[in-house]
Structures are given as C-alpha cells and as structure tokens.
Amino acid sequence: MIPNFLASILGANWRTSLTGMGTALFSLLTALAAVPYTIGDLGNIIPPEYKAKLFAVALTSAFILRVWNASLQKDKEVRGGVVDQDRHGDIATPQDPVAPAPKPTTTTNNLKK
C-alpha cells in the first residue's frame, strides 16, 4: 500500500527519490551541526549539548542513504533493466513504449562491422 502511494506521488523511481531527499536532509543537518559558534546566529541554531551527537548521527545517516541510493540506481527495477517500463513502473506493452529505440548512427554501424 505504501509503495503504491509513494509511486503515485514520486513516480516509478520513488525509492531513489526518497533516499536522495533523505541524503540531502541529513547532509544539511551535518553542515548545520558543523557550523562554529563564532559565525553568529547560524552557529547557535543547534544547542551545544546536541551538536556532536547530531553531527555523528547525521553524517552516518547521510553516508548510509547515499550508498543505498547508489545501489538503488543500479537496480533493474529503477530503470527497467532489459524490460521497458511505463511511467507507473509497470512493464510497458508494445503499444505503449517508454521511448522509441534510437536510430543507428554511422558510429554504431561502424562498431558493428
């Protein structure tokens, strides 16, 4: 149920969208936790007792989400692998192609020889 809901909002590649947004959020939190107090108001957003813990957790989370995002981008379900997908992530029928096949170029023809 949740994957269908997320797919309707974020599209067929909702997993990569979600992990990418999580990576951006935790990267922002890491940057905010790393800002020194000498900068002024920006450095005082996060209380001192939480800065070190937030930095460690946000940095670790951003790293894990980035690795997960990279692995999802290589997953055959994201781009269809050898199977074309429609905009909902379902297998595309021949009447409903995702994109027309590219026309061979002279470079492609030379490589086949």
Which residues form the domain of 79? 2-93
Residue 10 has a pLDDT of: 79
105 in a domain, yes or no? no
102 in a domain, yes or no? no
More confident residue, 1 or 16: 16
103 in a domain, yes or no? no
Residue 38: other Cβ atoms inside 10 A: 6
More confident residue, 42 or 20: 20
104 in a domain, yes or no? no
110 in a domain, yes or no? no
Task: State yes or no: pLDDT of 13 exceeds 70.
Answer: yes
99 in a domain, yes or no? no
| Nearest residue to 101 via CA among 77, 88, 84, 80 | 84
111 in a domain, yes or no? no
Structural domains in the chain (count): 1
pLDDT in tens, 21-55: 999 999 999 999 999 988 888 888 898 899 999 99
